[in-house]
Structure 1
Amino acid sequence: MKKSTLIALVSTLVMVLDYVTKRIILAKLAPYDRIEVFPFLNIVYVENKGAAFGMFANLGNNFFIGISVIALVVILVYMSKIPKGLELFSISLIFGGAVGNLINRIMIGKVTDFIDFYVGTWHWPAFNVADSALTIGIILFMLAAIMQSKKPSSGQ
């Protein structure tokens, strides 16, 4: 599969899944409504005006839109230099997740989070499909970097 095809497929899949799930949440739930799916998983509607876990919400939506656009430009430049494999797949996940949350910020001024994992009374901060893609992409990118660093260099 061509590099550009993989990037387009993975990123688009993430963006579409993120957009559709957020639209469903916005259409079906009021803020802070909760639907128990399993004894450790709720679907909730949380509005996040900040970064991860709602941090820095006081910086405003325009700040996060600007940071997102800069990050996406850096990712696009980096994508052109990636050969293939796990690193390319991971960057495609990161790109799709970043665009998914950027679309949400531009359209409604905040990010819609809705996945709520918990144990007893302890809840992980709510997140969404884009956040999941970003997290998985970052983990895979680090794994690819570790694997690459363990390969013997061609000069040895």
Structure 2
Amino acid sequence: MLKQNKNGLHYLYLSLIAFIADLATKYLIVTNFQLYESINILPIFNLTYARNTGAAFSFLADHSGWQKYFFIGLALIISAILIYFLQKNTALQKLQNSAYALIIGGALGNMVDRMYHGFVVDFFDFYWQDWHYPVFNVADIAICVGAGLLVLDALKNGDKKKSEKK
């Protein structure tokens, strides 16, 4: 059982897992696929090597390159803030700590890609008939799961916090 006085920093192991899984899968794609090469896995899913110079859903991808540095800085700032929150949290805040750690791992994984390649490697391609969801990667999954855990934590613990204030 976790001690109440321990902080949430030990959840950073989740950041490391997300970070390594992200970079390892991107390495496999880059070394085994040509750009835009696609392998059909399921009737609704392909592995497709794509590059994203922007952010989520290619936001700001069509700009002159300044966005690379913006997103690198943003990843560093967000990660630093979330590490601070982990340090302030108790170890018992499992959902929130897990969420922060996953977001950190995902943000740093995509940041390393931007620094090394100048773009983010994406490869999960889900589709239905002619409609394709934007291609994404393991870092994006970690960030989205982290965001979902924050929502779940707010729903689960929101009433507790309100009753504690009364």
Task: Give the TM bin, normalised by the shorter chain.
Answer: over 0.9
- Aligned residue in 2 for 1:107: 116
Instruction: Name the SS of the counterpart of 1:114 in structure 2.
Output: strand
Tell me if 1:49 matches 2:53. yes
Structure 1 residue runs without a partner (length 5+): none
Mapped to 2, the partners of 1:23 and 1:87 lie a distance apart of: 30
Counterpart selection for 1:139 from 117, 137, 148: 148
Tell me if 1:153 matches 2:130. no
- Aligned residue in 2 for 1:129: 138
Mapped to 1, the partners of 2:163 and 2:108 lie a distance apart of: 35
Q: CA deviation at 1:128?
A: 0.2
- Residue identity over aligned pairs, in percent, reads 35
Mapped to 1, the partners of 2:99 and 2:79 lie a distance apart of: 14
User: Normalising to structure 2: TM-score of the pair?
Assistant: 0.87
Q: CA deviation at 1:88?
A: 0.7
Checking the alignment, whether the CA contact within 8 Å between 2:103 and 2:142 is kept in structure 1 is yes
- Aligned residue in 2 for 1:82: 89
Structure 2 residue runs without a partner (length 5+): none
**Root-mean-square deviation over aligned CA pairs:** 1.5
Tell me if 1:4 matches 2:14. no
Mapped to 1, the partners of 2:106 and 2:67 lie a distance apart of: 20
Counterpart selection for 2:72 from 51, 65, 74: 65
User: Normalising to structure 1: TM-score of the pair?
Assistant: 0.93
Q: CA deviation at 1:155?
A: 5.2
Mapped to 2, the partners of 1:89 and 1:155 lie a distance apart of: 25
Segments ≥4 residues shifted beyond 4 Å: none
Mapped to 1, the partners of 2:23 and 2:82 lie a distance apart of: 21
Structure 1 residues 49 and 155, CA gap change in structure 2 (3 angstroms): closer
Q: CA deviation at 1:4?
A: 3.0
Say how many residue pairs are matched.
155
Task: Using the TM superposition, name which of 123-132 and 50-59 deviates more.
Answer: 50-59
Instruction: Name the SS of the counterpart of 1:37 in structure 2.
Output: strand
